[in-house]
Amino acid sequence: MKLGSGKQRLYAAGPAIIIVSVTIIAWEMIVRAFNIKPLFLPPPSLVAENAARFGLILVPHISATLYVTVAGFIVGALLAIAMAVLITYSTLLRNTLLPILLVVQSVPKQAFAPLVLVWFGYGDVPKIIIALLVGFFPIVVDTTAGLNAVEPELIDLARVVQASKMKILWKIRLPNSLPYFFNGLKIASALSVVGALVAEFLTGTYGLGYMLLNAQFHMNTALTITIIFVLGLIGIGLFGAASLAERLAMPWKRRMGGGGG
Amino acid sequence: MNFANVKQRLHAIGPPILVIGVAIIAWEIVVRALNIRPIFLPAPSFVIEEAIGTRSELLSETLVTFYESVTGFAISIVTAVLVAVIFTYSQFLRRGLLPLFILIESTPQVAFAPLLLIWFGYGYLPKIIVALLVCFFPIVVDTTAGLNAVEPELLDLARILQASNLKILLKIRLPTSVPYFFNGVKTASALSVVGALVAEFVATDSGLGLLLLGAQLRFDMAMIIICIFILGLIGIGLYAVTSLAERLAMPWRRQH
């Protein structure tokens, strides 16, 4: 199974690898052939050279952005789970807060960044709050849906055998909500990077958002491309971590080949 | 439609409206009672006053952001559907690009804003492109999934009846993809405002993003709150329009 699936994967990734390499080669050739100024579009070779030169300078900024993103993501996820459980058990909250949460989901949370910065200053906390805000809503909405997607017969059965509310939560509702929760978590993983980035755009002291604006200001297009690439890797990494957590938490899903929408 | 339905709806939206109303009144009372300075938290009445005072500026900047969001959103829908259709007919492109698109979907596309400003200068174009970029990937990924969610037996049947590729697309694949398509479009509807806003943050030359940044620097909390409110309305409005289009396009779903 190991070797076969490895080969199969390589086969599946083949076209993507071809397209990426052809694009990079074409990019290099076009820039050289048409003598495009590096200010406008540097060739990949120059981007790599530039990345090697600025690599060390970028490291503390990468770790700053990573810290804000991951902290916001994790705190947001924990708060969202707590909120989803509260909404499930309180009819009052479900009737009042849930509709508001659903509506606020389509509000651009990045717009709250200036407000949070005025209130909490320019340290790490406001940035984490902004990353948290962006990731919180999809998780809370999806997890609430999951906690309430239990078949009513199952709950009736649990009540008949006199299971406590706590036991129903732990043994029925939470396991049932896992696919929904991870769905929200995966959406939030990409969003929390956007939240951290926007917070750094607005504070302008350090982090990849600051460096990105700095590179733009100095017309260092090669560095801009490097930073976009690093930010992409962070987003993909978080999404990968969320997907891995999903596989570990729901081993039964692995057998089914990850189908579904 | 009928009376019972309206009553049911009123029952559903009653509690949240009540909560919001009470929150606004409490906010006004607390700010007045504790004498909180407007620089920290202005009272709702103060916010409304400022909104009325700056209405012409607000209107013109709102139109800018709205125009950028909607244009980027609309272009992304057209291009994403085209690309998804191409993916259905070219296995090589689908195999090559779809995994990349899925990867790019979890990257922050707004990071392209500074690069686009270097390329296209200031003005509407770079912001429209950022909004487009943010919307494009969820729509293309979902629509491609929808176009390929057709039961293989149905395709076999169509081929036996010698249906052309175009007919299979129009009569089978596109109708099947509609719910998936709207799923992606609904995700994108809220994101388009984020794209335009963040691009404006970076460009700082026009739109609600500019107003927000200026208000942040002046500690003008009332203006910040007004801008958040307007941006929220645009996001909710785009989502509502998309949901309405979904209902109109899939009348059979309304019954549920």
Q: Do B224 and A236 touch (CB under 8 A)?
A: no
Q: Which of B99, B202, B219 sits opposite A118 (nearest CB)?
A: B219
> What's the pLDDT at A1?
41
Asked whether residue A255 carries a pLDDT value surpassing 70, the answer given is no
Q: Which of A19, A201, A236 sits opposite B202 (nearest CB)?
A: A201
Q: Is A244 on the interface with B (CB under 8 A)?
A: no
Q: Do A202 and B201 touch (CB under 8 A)?
A: yes
> What's the pLDDT at B160?
87
Q: Do B197 and A213 touch (CB under 8 A)?
A: no
Residue A21: CB partners within 8 Å, gap ≥ 6?
A: none
Q: How far is Cα A51 from Cα A225, in angstroms, rounded to an integer? A: 9
Residue A171: CB partners within 8 Å, gap ≥ 6?
A: A158, A163
> What's the pLDDT at A159?
83
User: What is the distance of C-alpha B211 from the center of its chain?
Assistant: 20
Quote the minimal CA–CA distance from A32 to chain B in Å.
18
Interface test with A, best of B65, B95, B105, B106 (most A CBs within 10 A): B106
> What's the pLDDT at A173?
87
- Taking CA atoms, A132 is separated from A49, A135, A136, A194, B235, in Å, by 35, 5, 6, 11, 19
Q: Is A118 on the interface with B (CB under 8 A)?
A: yes
Q: What is the mean pLDDT of chain B?
A: 89
Which residues of chain A does B190 touch, with a Cβ-Cβ cutoff of 8 Å? Answer: 105-108
Q: Is B227 on the interface with A (CB under 8 A)?
A: yes
Q: For A201-237, write each residue's pLDDT tens digit.
A: 998 788 999 999 999 988 899 999 999 999 999 999 9
Q: What is the mean pLDDT of chain A?
A: 88
Nearest CA in chain A to B187: A106
Which residues of chain A does B87 touch, with a Cβ-Cβ cutoff of 8 Å? Answer: none
Q: Do A107 and B235 touch (CB under 8 A)?
A: yes
Q: For B229-245, write each residue's pLDDT tens digit.
A: 999 999 999 999 999 99
- Of A141 and B39, the structure prediction assigns the larger pLDDT to A141
Q: For B70-110, write each residue's pLDDT tens digit.
A: 999 999 999 999 999 999 888 888 888 888 998 898 899 99
pLDDT band at B170 (very low <50, low <70, confident <90, very high): confident
Percent of chain B clearing pLDDT 70 (strictly above): 95
Least trusted range by pLDDT, from A129-138, A178-187, B89-98, B190-199: B89-98
> What's the pLDDT at A170?
84
Q: Is A235 on the interface with B (CB under 8 A)?
A: yes
Q: Is A231 on the interface with B (CB under 8 A)?
A: yes
Q: pTM of the prediction?
A: 0.88
- For A212, the token pair is 């990105």
> What's the pLDDT at B254?
60
Q: Which of A99, A114, A239 sits opposite B106 (nearest CB)?
A: A239
- For A117, the token pair is 């910065």
Tell me the average pLDDT across A40-44: 91
pLDDT band at A7 (very low <50, low <70, confident <90, very high): low
- Of A176 and A1, the structure prediction assigns the larger pLDDT to A176
In the stretch 92-111 of chain B, residues with CB closer than 8 A to chain A read 92-93, 95-97, 99-100, 103-108, 110-111
Q: How far is Cα B131 from Cα B110, in angstroms, rounded to an integer? A: 8
Asked whether residue A260 carries a pLDDT value surpassing 50, the answer given is no
Asked whether residue A2 carries a pLDDT value surpassing 70, the answer given is no
Helices (H) and strands (E) in chain B, counts: 11, 0
What is this model's ipTM?
Answer: 0.87
Q: For B45-67, write each residue's pLDDT tens digit.
A: 999 999 999 999 999 999 999 99
Asked whether residue A259 carries a pLDDT value surpassing 70, the answer given is no
Which residues of chain B does A95 touch, with a Cβ-Cβ cutoff of 8 Å? Answer: 15-16
Asked whether residue B3 carries a pLDDT value surpassing 70, the answer given is no
In the stretch 50-109 of chain A, residues with CB closer than 8 A to chain B read 92, 95-97, 99-100, 103-108
Nearest CA in chain A to B95: A15
Q: Is A259 on the interface with B (CB under 8 A)?
A: no
Asked whether residue A178 carries a pLDDT value surpassing 70, the answer given is yes
Q: Is A197 on the interface with B (CB under 8 A)?
A: yes
Asked whether residue A253 carries a pLDDT value surpassing 80, the answer given is no
> What's the pLDDT at B149?
87
> What's the pLDDT at A94?
86
- Of A7 and A250, the structure prediction assigns the larger pLDDT to A250
A126 closest CA partner among A136, A137, A113, A135: A113
Q: Is A251 on the interface with B (CB under 8 A)?
A: no
Q: Which of B145, B180, B224 sits opposite A115 (nearest CB)?
A: B224
Percent of chain B clearing pLDDT 90 (strictly above): 61
Q: Do A117 and B216 touch (CB under 8 A)?
A: yes
Asked whether residue A254 carries a pLDDT value surpassing 80, the answer given is no
Q: Do B107 and A236 touch (CB under 8 A)?
A: yes
Please report the DSSP string for B64-130 in residue order. HHHHHHHHHHHHHHHHHHHHHHHHHH-HHHHHHHHHHHHHHHTS-GGGGHHHHHHHH-SSHHHHHHH
Residue pairs between chains A and B whose CB atoms are closer than 8 Å: 155
* DSSP three-state, residue A64: helix
The answer to whether B192 and B69 have CB atoms below 8 angstroms apart is: yes
Asked whether residue A4 carries a pLDDT value surpassing 70, the answer given is no
> What's the pLDDT at A64?
95
B249 closest CA partner among B192, B180, B147, B169: B180
Asked whether residue A242 carries a pLDDT value surpassing 50, the answer given is yes
> What's the pLDDT at A181?
93
